[in-house]
Amino acid sequence: MTDKRRPIVAGNWKMNTTLRDARELATALREPLAGLDGVDSVLCPPFVYLIAAGEVIEQSNVALGAQNCHVESKGAFTGEVSPAMLVDVGCRYVILGHSERRRLLKEDDALIRRKLESAVAHGLVPIVCTGENLAENEAGRTTEVVGGQLRAALHGLGGLLGDDAGAKLVVAYEPVWAIGTGRPATAQDAGATIGSIRRTLVELLGEAAAAAVRIQYGGSVTPANAAELFAQPEIDGALVGGASLKAPDFFAICRAAAAAGL
Ligand code: 13P
């Protein structure tokens, strides 16, 4: 992590927790995270628990994020949730293009690109996910796949993001084979791929904007491996799944990020 970028750790709760769990988890994190300087922390509960978790962390230094959104602001889209609604309930961030949505819900690059543009236009900060699957990794295609996802997601958005891209966009690198497997990428490999992502950002957004965008690593991040990952100069934080459901573990990962950023 470099001193130019403030680390950011987001907890992607995925389709987990009950209403009660969501309140308890947010409550257990609010006070400890209030005492932690030097890291942006984000909780991303399921849609139906956003308001409850948001009430707990209101007026704190912990931000609220959603796990997805629709492209349009409102209208006849049964079952969908709009970026305007997310802003309305206090979200600052939205995860877009997660590999589970790409793979299981068939979201393609073009849709993710449209969602991203809409999210930014509504004032949300998208956490755009990229990552190769195992076959792509084994074929040595990681940089190509991840670069292609990023180019597709950001195509033509340089103007919208402007010089302020660092404040308007977060990128996550999550190798699919590392998600939920207990088998993270090595810190060196993650750092190298994230370095390649930053070079792609330079192409797309220019040097200064690319240098300001935070890039997270995600995939089996735990308190045990966080410090080593964050020691990589290109890794600016983490997108955490399983470990974000345990308050002490998520806090420990945030603390490691804050320590690495100092
Ligand atoms: P795990 O931390 O459970 O591997 O999940 C990572 C992830 O997909 C976060 O978005």
Residue closest by Cα to atom 7 of ligand 1: 241
Query: What are the structural domains, with CATH classification, of the chain?
Result: 8-261 (3.20.20.70)
- DSSP notation for 181-218: SS-PPPHHHHHHHHHHHHHHHHHHH-HHHHHHSEEEEE
Nearest-atom index, ligand 1, CA of 219: 4
Q: Please report the pLDDT score of residue 262 as a whole number.
A: 61
Q: Are 146 and 103 in contact (CB under 8 A)?
A: no
Written as tens digits, the pLDDT of the chain (262 aa) is 554 799 999 999 999 999 999 999 999 999 999 999 999 999 999 999 999 999 999 999 999 999 999 999 999 999 999 999 999 999 999 999 999 999 999 999 999 999 999 999 999 999 999 999 999 999 999 999 999 999 999 999 989 998 899 999 999 999 999 999 999 999 999 999 999 999 999 999 999 999 999 999 999 999 999 999 999 999 999 999 999 999 999 999 999 999 998 6
Q: Which of 241, 244, 261 is nearest to 99 (CA)?
A: 241
Q: Is 228 a catalytic residue?
A: no
pTM strictly above 0.85: yes
Q: Is 98 a catalytic residue?
A: yes
**Rounded to an integer, what is the distance from CA 122 to the centroid of its chain?**
18
